[in-house]
Amino acid sequence: MPGKFITLEGGEGAGKTTCLKHIEKRIKEAGIDLCVTREPGGTRTGEKIREILLDRGNFDILDETELLLMFAARSQHLNELIKPALAADTWVLCDRFTDATYAYQGGGREIDVQRIAELEQWVQQGLKPDLTLLLDLPVEVGLERAGQRSTPDRFESENIAFMQRMRSSYLEIARREPDRVKVIDSSQPLESVLSQIDRILTEMLHSA
């Protein structure tokens, strides 16, 4: 049986990277081989594309260029790392994936979602995560948490309206795909967030 593909989604400062480490520990404790990765990035080429995408100096990147770069990195990631890992019965845990493209480029930048769906079909051919944990919290709270972390990147520098469209898009995906996408209230203290995640993860580990 192929490995499971789990993704973490949410806005800036939602706690994805923090929770990722906890999930990694839980899965490894269960004796499962795990590959931990992130988007954009995850491969040598993908990380170079990430640098272009996050660099605030790149103020001239057009919306479509941004979208295509996201999928270029994703194509490399899927073919070089994710698909071979899953085929070898290794689970894959990824910090952001295609839902982030719908939320940021679709919601935030207001690119026609049909465009995104066409690229998704082309690059993924139906491959989707088995489980997506959507860490949801008010935009202002996330930005405040992220702000204490480091200087904002090209996406973290976007305005509140952009972030609110992004959050709505994420929640819309969760409403459409409730079996795959589980919404976690990440405005709660970390212990509560982790216990919400543990409940879902335990179910998945038992069914593996």
Ligand X SMILES: Nc1ncnc2c1ncn2[C@@H]1O[C@H](COP(=O)(O)OP(=O)(O)O)[C@@H](O)[C@H]1O
Contact residues for ligand X, defined by CB under 6 A: 10, 12-18, 145-146, 148-149, 186, 189-190, 193
Tell me how many residues contact Mg ion (CB under 5 A). 2
Q: Kindly identify the residues of this chain, within the stretch 14-33, that bind Mg ion according to CB under 5 A.
A: 16-17
The token duo for 89 is 């019965």
- Residue nearer to ligand X on the CB measure, 76 or 196: 196
Beta-sheet strand order (sheet of 181-185): 34-38, 91-95, 5-10, 131-136, 181-185
Q: How far is the CB of 66 from ligand X (least distance, A)?
A: 19
Query: Nearest-CA neighbor of 4 among 178, 130, 95, 99?
Result: 130
| CB nearer to Mg ion: pick between 4 and 16 | 16
CA distance 39 to 2: 21
Separation between Cα atoms, residue 16 and residue 106, nearest integer Å: 20
Shortest Cβ 8–Mg ion spacing (Å) = 9
Shortest separation between residue 162's beta carbon and Mg ion, angstroms: 18
Shortest Å distance, C-beta 141 to ligand X: 9
- Output the smallest distance, CB 168 to ligand X, in A: 17
Nearest to 119 by CA among 107, 101, 104, 131: 101
What's the CA gap between 76 and 178, in Å, rounded?
28
The span of 13-21, 52-60, 71-79, 100-108 binding Mg ion (CB under 5 A) equals 13-21
* CB 23, CB 194: distance < 8 Å: no
143 binds, among ligand X, Mg ion, none (CB under 5 to 8 A by kind): none
Applying CB under 5 A, the residues found at the interface with Mg ion are: 16-17
